[in-house]
Chains A and B, each alone.
Chain A
């Protein structure tokens, strides 16, 4: 499968714990995006990388959130001291900038439940 993959698919944690999600983009895609989606809403942008550089961060990305893409390949999203309001689907997408289109391809998501 050459699509975007995300791990884990589901994560249940207790309030106050730290969690880390991983995203593997489509190979040769140079951009990687993180979005968050709560029930009944459309996805909301969190941050994106071009290669290893983090180019934009949403105000939704509080100090408890950090994202990295150390070698311009996979990315991790860490949430520290989780709160119940962090419960959501975390979606990763990738795209290739420089081609004729800039379609974002999404992974299956990681569903986080904070108890």
Chain B
């Protein structure tokens, strides 16, 4: 069974810092990996999707990398802002087997950016 782990569980930084969130997964046979943002009590907002054949994706101040062979992904946030405060979730989709459709999620990293 695919297990997804996110480190750290919580992070508190001053505004303006560059930061890195980590995600690791146990089965490297993935179809894609997605990073989401979740505000308290809300649904999930997709930030970036990386296909298994890709190494990274960028959107604005966000950059996500994927090293499938080592089972790792990182989300890099540049010049953090208080509005970035949220929980960031990493999810992988299997590439084979009977569980092709589902996403496997980590528990998330709760980010607080203070002014």
Tell me if B49 and A56 are in contact (CB < 8 A): no
A107 smallest CB distance to B (angstroms)? 5
**Residues in chain B near residue A4, CB distance under 8 A:** 43
Q: Quick one: closest A residue to B105, CB to CB? A: A42
Main secondary structure on B side of the interface with A: strand
Residues of B within 8 A of A44 (CB): 105
Q: At the interface, yes or no: B68 with Cβ under 8 Å from chain A?
A: no
For chain A, residues 26 to 53, give those with C-beta under 8 angstroms from any C-beta of chain B: 31, 33, 35, 40-45, 48, 50
Known contacts A33-B103, A42-B89, A104-B46; 15 further A-B pairs (Cβ under 8 A) = A35-B103, A42-B4, A48-B102, A56-B98, A56-B99, A56-B100, A91-B44, A102-B93, A103-B34, A105-B46, A106-B46, A107-B43, A108-B42, A109-B43, A111-B41
**Which residue in chain B gives the minimum CB-CB distance to A41?**
B107
Supply 10 A–B pairs (Cβ within 8 Å), ascending by A.
A4-B43, A42-B89, A45-B102, A50-B101, A101-B32, A101-B49, A102-B31, A102-B32, A108-B43, A109-B42
A109 / chain B contacts, CB cutoff of 8 Å: 42-43
- Tell me if B76 counts as interface (CB < 8 A to partner A): no
Q: Which residues in B have some Cβ–Cβ distance to A below 8 Å?
A: 4, 31-32, 34, 36, 41-46, 49, 51, 89, 91, 93, 98-108
